[in-house]
Structure 1
């Protein structure tokens, strides 16, 4: 099963703030889907969520946060707080990746992750995105959106050949590979603007 287009791949997403807020909505929906499903369907929803989170967080870390640090009053503090939140979520995500999605412990940890990610998204929208939109030049916000879309375009969207099972795909297609490809694409997109 392939991954659906994410918000950044839609042509109308020419403002980085609108694009990232739509991604937050997609992340919330996928998190609910993980909890609503069981078995293979839960595992599939979880893998799609991991994919979207990897692309989304990498885009923020490589493009959005550096811009906010320098272009927004108090940006360094705002970004430092968001990075602490992201780090905690990444650690929990790594734990979940090695677990059986139907294990009750998976569900308990996933609920904590969901709550933390929702709080993080609200904080980004309130403290980072709002300031970014207020102080950002429209052309720059469009360039940042272009970099995020470029990152999404190169991130893997389907299982890799030779990884017949879901478990092998997760083991051989780690988040690190998505992150590396995402960073390369964003740097290339930003250097062209």
Structure 2
């Protein structure tokens, strides 16, 4: 299994997409799915902000701005998700809020995968990306463990 930062980040994105599909289909306990989304989003965001974005910010001015923008998008998504967790899945605006949250995350993922992650791959050696991947995974795993999710 590849362990470079870019691959690990993209793997997380695919896991979130699977959770989104289950939420959109109202498949299973929606509150449990939202809690898993919250744990995974928080762990992913913190790992990126601590171990990936600082390296990205060193590439150039545009990358620095993109890293700050990415962190802002994380915070927006987390706020939307926390608001969503506070309302009943049976409530009248639950699915509208869910759609807004998912759209926000998908826009962020698209930007990361088309702009930020390719910039990292193009600028860093595989060895450096693997070092970042190990650091990213360490933070992510610790955060998920607190939430009771084993990786």
**Do 1:71 and 1:136's aligned partners in 2 also have CA atoms closer than 8 Å?**
no
Equivalent residues in 2 for 1:92-171, closer than 5 Å: 92-154=80-142, 155=144, 156-158=146-148
Higher RCO, 1 vs 2 (CA within 8 Å, ≥6 residues apart): 2
Report how far residue 151 of structure 1 moved: 2.0
Give me the whole-angstrom Cα distance separating, in 2, the residues matched to 1:17 and 1:27.
Answer: 16
**Greater C-alpha radius of gyration:** 1
Report how far residue 72 of structure 1 moved: 4.7
Q: TM-score, normalised by structure 1?
A: 0.70
Give me the whole-angstrom Cα distance separating, in 1, the residues matched to 2:124 and 2:61.
Answer: 11
Report how far residue 35 of structure 1 moved: 2.1
Equivalent residue for 2:49?
A: 61
Q: Give the RMSD, CA atoms, in angstroms.
A: 1.8
Distance 1:26 1:72, change over 3 A: farther
Distance 1:157 1:83, change over 3 A: closer
Give me the whole-angstrom Cα distance separating, in 2, the residues matched to 1:31 and 1:78.
Answer: 25
Report how far residue 77 of structure 1 moved: 1.6
The answer to whether the aligner puts 1:76 opposite 2:83 as a matched pair is no
Question: Which structure 1 residue ranges, 5 or more long, are not aligned?
Answer: 1-11, 160-193
Number of residues paired by the alignment? 147
Question: Which structure 2 residue ranges, 5 or more long, are not aligned?
Answer: none
Which secondary structure state, in structure 2, belongs to the residue aligned with residue 142 of structure 1? helix
Runs of 4+ more than 4 Å apart = none
Report how far residue 54 of structure 1 moved: 0.7
Give me the whole-angstrom Cα distance separating, in 1, the residues matched to 2:61 and 2:19.
Answer: 33
Give me the whole-angstrom Cα distance separating, in 2, the residues matched to 1:33 and 1:51.
Answer: 16
